[in-house]
């Protein structure tokens, strides 16, 4: 019975080579529809930034807010692809001890942005003794703000939040300019003349900038973490004379196959109908899909071991299983076979593996869509930089992604290189601030 259930699940979750190619061409269509002003699930936001040349230099402040943690640092860009991140601080958005969660709907925009401005203040006070800061304090320090949610901008220093995702719900931010909210919070802390918010950028773009600072051949960057999204260097963006980095907001892509589990998760999420690609594949949702599948197996009588699960989770509570729990299950050496029957322990692993593999295949299909848009006959080399906890931390993920790309690209697979770009958000935000300063 269990084996039959698993086989059926495998059929539902598997993505054939044909399907990969179909998803890739639909993704390309959605990109091109959006670029030409037609309705599409891809937003294709211009970042107002070109690629860096690696010689941008100076001292900058950087802030990164993407969902789980907020981080800030002073970043020294030294040119020739060299940089230093100094006085780095990271603060969780939720503190289990105090019960404070800045992502909750009960928290106001002012409270969230005061918290973010506070982190900047802390970095500044830790760094006031630092010689690099002393020597460059002739004017306010330029701040690059990596804000990893869908926002609309018409200049590099503004960002009107369209909607929250990744289950963040803080009140009073949707529809507002997060640049204005942050600047007002900096003013409240007396930092108005010390810091000047110069650039707001998405985390895919910061990943792009950091990787491209060292490797000018880079043309695509992606985050595969709590959320998922991809940006690339568009040569012919409407309204721009020079190439510009475009944030596709690919997490909202709507044309990939759904299982009933995906549909239910979407319907019961904070933002039904939105981010449907992300909800099939990113770290925020893989654990939740896993929980729903195992619960369903158990309700159908296929699975009995839920009272002693190998993951520390309450199976009836939504989002109680994280991407990290899945990684642990995949690494499990059958040590829980005392608690869960051996075949069920194996089944948990298999379900985790099927979800991880599908995630990597979907991402690979979207990359192929971008590459085909840039280079329809695949005549040139392309490099994709990837950051994010799922890509870095899920056992086997990077390999599944490479396998999916090589199967689909066949003899041209050697032209597409994928590389890990870890921890680039703060440096990327600083590079954005440097590029925005050059533009003025």
Q: By the criterion CB under 6 A, which residues form the site for ligand GLC?
A: 66, 148-150, 165-166, 202-204, 223, 225, 227-229, 249, 251, 278
Closer of 59 and 359 to ligand GLC (Cβ): 359
Q: How far is the CB of 339 from ligand GLC (least distance, A)?
A: 35
Could you tell me if 63 and 430 are in contact, meaning their C-beta atoms sit under 8 angstroms apart?
no
Which 3 state secondary structure label does DSSP give 74?
Answer: strand
Q: Rounded CA gap, 143 and 156, in Å? A: 12
Closer of 148 and 269 to ligand GLC (Cβ): 148
Q: Which residue is nearest to ligand GLC (CB)?
A: 227
Q: Nearest 5°: CA angle at 282, between 303 and 270?
A: 85
Could you tell me if 424 and 210 are in contact, meaning their C-beta atoms sit under 8 angstroms apart?
yes
Closer of 189 and 324 to ligand GLC (Cβ): 324
Q: Rounded CA gap, 114 and 137, in Å? A: 23
Q: At what angle do helices 397-409 and 342-374 cross, to 10 degrees?
A: 50
Q: How far is the CB of 396 from ligand GLC (least distance, A)?
A: 21
Q: How far is the CB of 223 from ligand GLC (least distance, A)?
A: 4
> Which tokens in the block code for residue 350?
């298999």
Q: How far is the CB of 56 from ligand GLC (least distance, A)?
A: 22
Q: How far is the CB of 209 from ligand GLC (least distance, A)?
A: 14
Could you tell me if 216 and 228 are in contact, meaning their C-beta atoms sit under 8 angstroms apart?
no
What is the DSSP annotation of 190-231? T-TTTEEEEEEE-HHHHHHHHHHHH-TTEEEEEEESSSEEEE
Q: Rounded CA gap, 251 and 166, in Å? A: 10
Closer of 59 and 148 to ligand GLC (Cβ): 148
Could you tell me if 348 and 329 are in contact, meaning their C-beta atoms sit under 8 angstroms apart?
yes
Closer of 26 and 228 to ligand GLC (Cβ): 228
Could you tell me if 391 and 285 are in contact, meaning their C-beta atoms sit under 8 angstroms apart?
no
Closer of 64 and 325 to ligand GLC (Cβ): 64
328 forms beta bridges with none
Q: How far is the CB of 225 from ligand GLC (least distance, A)?
A: 6
Closer of 249 and 344 to ligand GLC (Cβ): 249
DSSP 361: H
Q: How far is the CB of 148 from ligand GLC (least distance, A)?
A: 4
């Amino acid at each position: 019975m269990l084996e039959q259930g698993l086989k059926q699940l495998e059929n539902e979750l598997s993505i054939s080579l044909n399907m990969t190619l179909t998803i890739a061409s639909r993704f390309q269509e959605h990109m091109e529809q959006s670029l030409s002003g037609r309705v599409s699930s891809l937003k294709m936001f211009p970042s107002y930034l070109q690629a860096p040349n690696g010689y941008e230099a100076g001292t900058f402040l950087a802030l990164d807010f993407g969902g789980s943690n907020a981080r800030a640092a002073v970043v020294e860009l030294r040119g020739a692809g060299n940089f230093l991140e100094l006085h780095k601080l990271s603060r969780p958005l939720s503190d289990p001890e105090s019960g404070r969660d800045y992502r909750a709907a009960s928290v106001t925009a002012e409270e969230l942005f005061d918290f973010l401005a506070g982190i900047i203040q802390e970095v500044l006070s830790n760094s006031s003794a630092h010689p690099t800061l002393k020597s460059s304090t002739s004017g306010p320090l330029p701040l690059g703000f990596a804000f990893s949610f869908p926002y609309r901008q018409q200049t590099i220093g503004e960002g009107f939040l369209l909607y929250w995702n990744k289950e963040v719900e803080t009140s009073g931010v949707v529809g507002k300019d997060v640049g204005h909210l942050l600047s007002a919070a900096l003013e409240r802390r007396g930092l108005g003349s010390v810091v000047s918010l110069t650039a707001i950028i998405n985390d895919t773009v910061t990943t792009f900038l950091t990787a491209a600072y060292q490797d000018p051949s880079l043309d695509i960057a992606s985050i595969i973490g709590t959320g998922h999204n991809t940006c690339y260097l568009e040569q012919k963006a409407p309204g721009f004379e020079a190439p510009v980095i475009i944030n596709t907001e690919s997490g909202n892509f709507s044309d990939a196959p759904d299982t009933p589990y995906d549909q239910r998760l979407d319907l019961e999420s904070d933002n039904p109908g939105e981010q449907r690609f992300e909800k099939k594949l990113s770290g925020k949702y893989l654990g939740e899909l896993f929980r729903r599948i195992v619960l369903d197996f158990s309700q159908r009588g296929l699975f009995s071991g839920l009272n002693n699960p190998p993951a520390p989770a309450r199976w009836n509570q939504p989002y109680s299983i994280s991407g990290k729990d899945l990684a642990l299950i995949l690494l499990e050496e059958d040590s829980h076979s005392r608690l869960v029957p051996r075949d069920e322990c194996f089944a948990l692993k298999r379900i985790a593996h099927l979800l991880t593999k599908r995630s990597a295949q979907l991402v690979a299909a979207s990359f192929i869509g971008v590459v085909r848009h840039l280079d329809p006959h695949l005549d040139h080399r392309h490099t994709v930089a990837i950051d994010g906890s799922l890509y870095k931390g899920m056992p086997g993920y990077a390999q599944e992604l490479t396998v999916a790309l090589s199967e689909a690209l066949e003899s041209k697979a050697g032209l597409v290189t994928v590389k890990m770009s870890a921890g680039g958000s703060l440096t990327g935000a600083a590079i954005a601030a440097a590029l925005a300063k050059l533009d003025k």
